[in-house]
Structure 1
Amino acid sequence: MKNLDILIVEGNIEQDSKMFIEAAGAKVSENLKNLFLKFEPKANIEIIHPGNDKESSAALDKINSYDGIAFTGGAMRLNDMSEEIKKHIKFAKECLESGKKILAICWGLQVCSVAAGGKVNKGKNGAHMGIAKSVKINEAGLRHPLYESKKNEFNTPAFNFDEVCEIPENSIVLASNSVNDVMGLNINYKNSVVWGMQYHSDYEYKQTINLTNLRKEKLLNNNYFKNDDDFSKHISVIKEEDKKLSFENKTFEIRNWLKFIKD
């Protein structure tokens, strides 16, 4: 069997990537690439930034050569609808039109959902800041290959303030929790299939703890925490969860998608 050819679509602008590099040691796209290579060491992986017209155009010119396309997380807020964000949506729409197998993580899920006709708004029940608790796979999710071998209920690294509030046509919600109704989503768009997650199978808690600490002032100013003590207790909860984290269970979605694009 030939080596996999995968396109990773970076979800951050350069300025935001600096924070992710400080928190995780690499850009979101590079972090995901490293995880892919852990499971598929011979895969050919290309990274592009959809805000870069030259990179986007070159990738679209050879779109049929990719076995799969992965959209990463990112720090932008979709309803800001800047020119940069419009380019991310446009590129996602082009990928959906091409009939590809797509993995969409966090920001990537939101972008692909909007590109397919869905809507995204600020999370009505709050935000995930470093961790998502008690994500439950529903009956449709239990039958879906994204969650093959996954525990039916799990905690996971996560960071998001927004959520998919209206799913696209021909979509199925696969998992939910008390914060976001759409934690796992399958989108069928023409001949394309999107497996989406509103959390990070690609990140470790140590990385999301660093990211949460870097955003501390902003989180406090926006009243996500009452005070420093409340913030510290939250970090302690994530640290305790980190001790119990199973790398195998955390990454089943990644491995299942890689298996999917091999078929």
Structure 2
Amino acid sequence: MALRFLVVEGNTRGARQAHKAAYGLMPSESYAAVLGEIESDIVCDLAFPADEGANLPDAAGLESYDGIVLTGSHLNIYDATPDILSQIDLMRSIYASRTPSFGSCWGLQVAAVAAGGDVRKNPLGREIGFARRITRTQAGQGHPLLAGRPASYDAPAIHLDMVTMTPADAVVLSTNAVSEVQSAEITVSGGTFWGVQYHPEFSLGELGVILARRIEMLVGEGFCRTPEEAASYIADLNALHAEPTRFDLAWRHGLDEEVLLPERRTRELRNFIEHRVKPEKSARGRT
């Protein structure tokens, strides 16, 4: 039973090509590859709503998908430029289509703003590398998005902006000391979105590539003292990506199996497929 997914790339053309030059894949291509690793029969189309004149699915096209996922982005949603507004409009159409949707980081922010929420810079600063000590809210205790996660867990993350006001029909599912909204469910126009502020789709290798392009920022914002220290940290992430059993490095950086093992790091994506996409496909009677 093949599953048809639409992966909505949040980046502009230049940003996604820069990522491809460094990593070999655009973020949307990487996201699609992770989905394919979770379920071998997932078929993905890609959409680029930040591009002027982008050919985007209409209402019937959106409804034809079994699931829609939104990637991260380098954009700041409060800038409200045309390439951002087009993504907000698309998210409103996704809600109206009632197709199960999921988003990471920027995806959560777009979904929140499209539903009437707000996103601003985090006054506590950037959360980068990993979001630490994420814990469920009371509403998140039994929510299927977080099924299998322990009481407290870490996850790959890189963001400065955060959801500062949740929409009316939103439920915050997890939080930590840096970002009040680490995951949420949002319902609008009969459509339901599940999203996380972190990046369950990132491998440590992809995270390392992203950080390697931000060494100046890591030093400038005080996360590392020198470029050499930043490079050493990135090298450790790459080594853990290649060899997750490196206990010495895992201990040094306080990382456990929730981050190191792909089947646990991608837990929210797996839960989205199992608890939202597959049941909805069956309910619609699709083959």
For the criterion TM > 0.5, the same-fold answer is: yes
Alignment of 1:255 onto 2:270: yes
Question: Which of structures 1 and 2 has the bigger CA Rg?
Answer: 2
Name the amino acid aligned to 1:147: L
How far, CA to CA, are the matches of 1:108 and 1:11 in structure 2? 8
Residue 110 of structure 1 contacts residue 120 of structure 1 at CA under 8 Å; is this kept in 2? yes
Give the superposition deviation at 1:62: 1.3
Task: Map 1:41-52 onto structure 2 (within 5 A).
Answer: 41-52=40-51
- What are the within-5 Å matches in structure 2 for residues 23-172 of structure 1? 23-52=22-51, 53-56=53-56, 58-172=57-171
Question: Amino acid of the residue matched to residue 270 of structure 2?
Answer: R
Corresponding letter in the other structure for 1:116: A
The 5-angstrom pairing of residues 170-181 of structure 1 reads: 170-181=169-180
Residue 7 (structure 1) shift: 0.8
**Secondary structure, in 3 states, of the residue corresponding to 1:211?**
helix
Q: Distance in 1 between matches of 2:97 and 2:117?
A: 18
- TM-superposed CA distance for 1:155, in Å, is 1.1
Q: Distance in 2 between matches of 1:144 and 1:66?
A: 24
C-alpha distance after superposition, 1:210-260 (max 9, x if no partner): 211211224444x34463176467657866348742222211111111112
Conservation of the 8 A alpha-carbon contact between 2:131 and 2:157 = yes
Letter matched to residue 277 of structure 2: I
Letter matched to residue 108 of structure 2: L
Aligned-CA RMSD value? 2.1
- Shift of the 51–61 alpha-carbon distance from structure 1 to 2, 3 Å rule, reads farther
Give per-residue Cα distances to partners, 1:104-163, cap 9 Å, x unaligned: 111111011100100000012221222111111222212111011122211111111100
What SS is found at the alignment partner of 2:198?
A: coil
**TM-score (norm. length: structure 2):** 0.83
Structure 1 position 19, deviation (Å): 3.2
Give the CA deviation at 1:195.
Answer: 0.5
Structure 2 residue identity aligned to 1:262: K
Number of residue-to-residue matches in the alignment: 260
Flag the 1:59–1:6 CA change in 2: closer, same or farther, 3 A. Answer: farther
Q: Are the counterparts in 2 of residues 186 and 196 from structure 1 also a CA contact under 8 Å?
A: yes
| Structure 2 unaligned residues grouped into runs of 5+ | 241-248, 280-287
Question: Match of 1:169, SS?
Answer: coil
> Structure 1 counterpart of 2:32, which letter?
K
Higher RCO, Cα 8 Å, sep 6+: 1
Change (3 A) 1:22 1:67: same
How high is the TM-score relative to the length of structure 1? Answer: 0.91
1:65, distance to aligned residue in structure 2 (A):
0.6
Q: Deviations over 1:162-190 (max 9, x none)?
A: 00000011111111111101001110112
Match among 221, 224, 227 for residue 225 of structure 2? 227
Amino acid at match of 2:127: H
Are the equivalent residues in 1 in contact too, given 2:10–2:50 (CA < 8 A)? no
**Distance (Å, rounded) in 1 between the aligned partners of 2:54 and 2:213:** 32
1:171–1:220 distance in 2 versus 1, CA, 3 Å: same
Per the alignment, in what secondary structure is the counterpart of residue 157 of structure 1? strand
Task: Report the secondary structure of 1:154's partner residue.
Answer: strand
